[in-house]
Amino acid sequence: MKLTDAQIGQAGVLLVQHKLLLYGIESAPLTTDAGIDLVAYSPHSTRALTIQVKANLKAKPSGGKGKPHLDWWTPDNSPAELFAFVDLETSRVWLVGKKELPTLAQQHPSNRYHFFMSVDPSTKNRRDGKAVHDHEFQEFLLENRVNRVI
């Protein structure tokens, strides 16, 4: 059965909520699409943060024919403070702050960021030195960052 884009997006939001709750962080979805999917609150930091969730069902061939990559697009004027980039196939979630995204995203065409990572270890490194392999983004995995950013 093929999932719709809306179902993939909703599954991503639910996965992020599930993972946050396991760390004692409450979160709630917004009812309208204002560029923010979740508001998260941690009793440890006593402040709420806004999160935009972007989800992939699984890695896809880069450019339609290349090695498998995960990729997400987000507007550069998003009101969210954090981005949760989700890979549903492996249940991984990366948390990236709004101020970090310009440095991490590999492309910035037409007022939006394109953030991607290869899941194939044989993918060549980028000439510009930017990270491209999923293992290079380990520090951004939710379980490695949640207590520092929320």
Structural domains of the chain, ranges and CATH numbers in brackets: 5-149 (3.40.1350.10)
pLDDT in tens, 59-85: 998 888 889 999 999 999 999 999 999
- Pick the closest to residue 123 from 112, 136, 132, 111 (CA basis): 132
Which tokens is 137 given?
Answer: 């983004």
Tokens of 145: 């960052």
Q: Is this model's pTM higher than 0.75 or not?
A: yes
Instruction: Kindly report, residue by residue over 112-140, the tens digit of the pLDDT.
Output: 999 999 999 989 898 888 888 999 999 99
Listed in sequence order, the residues at least 6 apart from 23 whose beta carbon sits closer than 8 Å to its beta carbon are 42, 146, 147, 150
Read off the pLDDT of residues 23-38 as tens digits, 9 standing for 90 and up: 999 999 998 888 999 9
